[in-house]
Structures are given as C-alpha cells and as structure tokens.
Amino acid sequence: MGLDYNIKNISKGKYKINLYSKEFKKGKFIKEESLYSTILNIKDNKNGFDISIYQENEEFKISIGESTYYEVSSDFFKSGYSGIALFGIESENKVTFNKDFPIQVYIIGDNVKNIDNTNIDDIFNHNSDNEIIIYLNISNIE
C-alpha cells in the first residue's frame, strides 16, 4: 500500500533528498526516524523526478528517480491493530527547497474507516491509535 509522486519544477543540478517519518499515538508525538537520504544528480532539464513510497508488511519500499531503490523496516506496522489507512497529502508537488512537507500518512486503529479528510489536524482529531507521517525535504546543493 503506497503512492507515487511526481516532483515538479526541478531542473539540472544536484539535490539532497531526505525522507523521514514522525510517529504519533493518539495525536501525541512519539518519535522521528530517518527513512532515506541521498544526493540526486539531475543531468538534464527534464523538469522533475519521481518518488514512490510503499508499505509492505513491516517495511517501507522507497524508489527515487529511475534507479534508486531502498527498503527500511518500521516498528510502526508491528502494532497488531485491525485497521490501517493510507492518505496521500500531495500527489504532484512543486518543490519548495529546504522546507519539510508531509506527503503521506498511515493510520492504524479500529476507527480508520471514519476518517474522510486528508487534513493532518482532522486526522489527529479522530484520536487514532497510531499515526505515522512521511515528510520530504529537498535542498539544492548546486
């Protein structure tokens, strides 16, 4: 279960890409964890690149660009709750450099079927058992 993203308005150059998660329980912060960090070298002016983030069992499967693939395990999915939901915050992004922005939210709990909004504040107001938010940060190096 996951989503594909097309990051727009990036031109030729080097970029530092950081993906990290913040985990919450009943809306209270638990921990932050780095998922992936890399330097991406865009050699032509193709005006963007793709990122895919999928959850399978207890792992995140991350793909950036055309050839980078990475897996990272997460204790978040070991909770044993009966329901899980995925919300994509943005599916197509115009990059704001050096700014963290949420792109994906996973929620675990029995009441996930009652959530019908992708606004993070509204999700926390449902007091789900556990939430994990995936953030993306892109920095221009050159």
Determine the average pLDDT of the residues in 58-72.
81
pTM, whole model, 2 decimals?
0.81
C-alpha pair distances (Å), 29 with each of 13, 14, 130, 132 = 35, 33, 10, 10
Q: How many domains does the chain have?
A: 1
| CB-facing half-sphere around the CA of 139: CA atoms within 13 A | 8
* pLDDT score for 20: 94
3-state secondary structure of 113: helix
Q: What's the DSSP call for residue 126? A: T
Strand partners, 104: 88, 134
Q: Which domain holds residue 27?
A: 2-140
